Amino acid sequence: MNIEEAQTVQTDLLKIIAEGAGVAGIVNILAKATELPVVVTNEFYKVLGSSHEDYPRNSFVRSCINGTEKNPGLCQIKLEQSIKLAYVFPSYIKNETLGFLYIFSDASDRMDIKDFGKIASLVLTVQLTKDKELLLTEKRYVDAFLFDLLYGNIESGEDILARGELWGWDLSRPQCVLVFELDDYDYFTEDKNLLEILIESVRFVMKEMGEKPILTKKKGEVIAILFKTKGSKHEQREYMKLVVDKIQSLAQQRIPARVLRLGIGRIYENPNEIFRSYQEAKVALELGKLMHSRLRTPFFEYLGLARILYNHDRQELAELYQETLGELERYDSAHNTELMKTLENFLSHRCDLKETAKTSYIHPNTLRYRLKKIQEILDLDFDDFDTKLNLMVAFKIKHLKVSDIDE
């Protein structure tokens, strides 16, 4: 590329910015000039503009291996079963990365592409800086409103509806809140970048399923206000489980080293009760952590007794557990038995002797002997309803992992 050609490309790119064509305009100019596929991403590799058929807008450029020994500007990008080559040009200002420009080519040493890329990355920096400033300004207003909404600081439902309309949100529709969180999140590390990937993953899945949720993030949380779209409660619940499963699957692909937690609040008709759904979602999330695999999709509405126990005094719960099951737990430890497991299995099968024996792979007489031993140790009668209720509550406390139990 000679100086005159370079100046022409630069002029065309600057015109695009002045005319407000944005990133998409920059991509079109470069794709025509190079006759190659061009992709622009943000700093988290989310596609902002693309002429590459395999990388539509809002998808992600993944598995990028930057550079080779001979050509540090060349990338290997894994796309399904194939590897694509692309020249990558970072766009940054004051050591802050704003995004990346990818020009796809199988040629390993194209000086003209490097020249195009160097010119375009400088112009792209101007555009991305402008976009980021506009986005941050709007985000400050949106975040302030959502903070007030999620913490119940707006009493008037009419005020909520009016302010929601400013951003095109119809908050008169029934809605619930979903909260997502990465385990062991630490804001002062690279985790804040992972949170960006998470919120983009939630947005991608929701959009794919035709949803237009309200999304925001706070500290280590990604918060989604999702509108009710199904007729019956059962249909809505199954649909939300499907949405959540898709989000968890995508997050596992994009952030494989971290565990994603979530909680779902109840659906409310009134917009000034959204804050209740948010608080419920956070409780469901915490209970999901405590109860692990027992709560694959923690809906606050279906937590039952666990949500009451969660808000109860921890010391009192620990004492109730010890008074009810402590003696049996100590017996198991001293005699290397599993009577605690036998009792829990018996209760979980509605005290059905035949079914419990079948699922435990033991003879009914063996089970009878063990149950008799348990009654002797705990000095209780399984025929008494209150006794069975107390035992079930004690096991629920055990699965809540109350910290004082071991003491």
Per-residue pLDDT, averaged over 28-55, amounts to 89
pLDDT tens for residues 218-267?
Answer: 888 999 999 998 888 889 999 999 999 999 999 998 898 888 999 999 99
Please report how many Cα atoms fall inside a 13 Å half-sphere around the Cα of residue 141, on the Cβ side: 8
Please report how many Cα atoms fall inside a 13 Å half-sphere around the Cα of residue 162, on the Cβ side: 6
Per the CATH hierarchy, to which homologous superfamily does domain 172-303 belong? Reverse transcriptase/Diguanylate cyclase domain (3.30.70.270)
User: Which residues, including other chains, have CB under 8 Å from residue 150's CB and lie 6 or more apart?
Assistant: 177, 223, 274, 275, 278
CA-to-CA separations, 129 to 59, 134, 141, in angstroms, rounded: 21, 9, 19
- In our burial notation (b when 16+ CB lie closer than 10 A, e otherwise), range 205-216 reads bbeeeebebbbb
Q: What is the pLDDT of residue 406?
A: 52
Its sign, for the CA torsion 52, 57, 60, 64, is: positive
User: Which residues, including other chains, have CB under 8 Å from residue 85's CB and lie 6 or more apart?
Assistant: 74, 75, 76, 77, 104, 105, 106, 108
Q: Where in the chain is the domain with CATH 3.30.450.40?
A: 3-130
Q: Give the whole-angstrom CA distance, residue 376 versus residue 373.
A: 5
Whether the per-residue pLDDT at 92 is higher than 90: the answer is: no
Kindly report the CATH number that applies to the domain delimited by 3-130: 3.30.450.40
Whether the per-residue pLDDT at 72 is higher than 60: the answer is: no
Q: Where in the chain is the domain with CATH 1.10.10.2840?
A: 312-399
Q: What is the pLDDT of residue 292?
A: 58
Query: Are residues 47 and 56 in contact, defined by beta-carbon separation less than 8 angstroms?
Result: yes
Query: Are residues 256 and 204 in contact, defined by beta-carbon separation less than 8 angstroms?
Result: no
Query: Are residues 131 and 123 in contact, defined by beta-carbon separation less than 8 angstroms?
Result: no
Greatest Cα-to-Cα distance within the chain, rounded to the nearest angstrom: 96
Q: What is the pLDDT of residue 281?
A: 93
Q: Is 322 left (phi over 0), alpha (psi -120 to 50) or beta?
A: alpha
Tokens of 269: 């008709």
Q: What is the pLDDT of residue 67?
A: 56
Per-residue pLDDT, averaged over 172-197, amounts to 89
Q: What is the pLDDT of residue 404?
A: 46
Q: Which range among 169-178, 239-248, 306-315 shows the weakest confidence by mean pLDDT?
A: 306-315
pTM for this one? Answer: 0.65
The mean pLDDT value of the chain amounts to 86
- Percentage of the chain lying above the pLDDT 70 cut: 92
Residue 178 backbone phi and psi in degrees, to 5: -115, 135
Query: Are residues 141 and 149 in contact, defined by beta-carbon separation less than 8 angstroms?
Result: no
Query: Are residues 199 and 217 in contact, defined by beta-carbon separation less than 8 angstroms?
Result: yes
Q: Which range among 145-154, 324-333, 381-390 shows the weakest confidence by mean pLDDT?
A: 381-390
CA angle 125, 167, 23 (to 5 degrees): 20
**Better-scored residue on pLDDT, 9 or 30:** 30
Whether the per-residue pLDDT at 166 is higher than 80: the answer is: yes
Q: Name the strands in the sheet holding 64-66, side by side, starting at the edge strand that comes first in the sequence.
A: 47-50, 38-42, 96-104, 82-93, 74-79, 64-66
Query: Are residues 264 and 178 in contact, defined by beta-carbon separation less than 8 angstroms?
Result: yes
Whether the per-residue pLDDT at 198 is higher than 80: the answer is: yes
Q: Where in the chain is the domain with CATH 3.30.70.270?
A: 172-303
Per-residue pLDDT, averaged over 300-305, amounts to 83
**Better-scored residue on pLDDT, 6 or 282:** 282
Per the CATH hierarchy, to which homologous superfamily does domain 312-399 belong? PucR C-terminal helix-turn-helix domain (1.10.10.2840)
Q: Strand locations in 80-174, DSSP E?
A: 82-93, 96-104
- Percentage of the chain lying above the pLDDT 90 cut: 37
Q: What is the pLDDT of residue 8?
A: 81
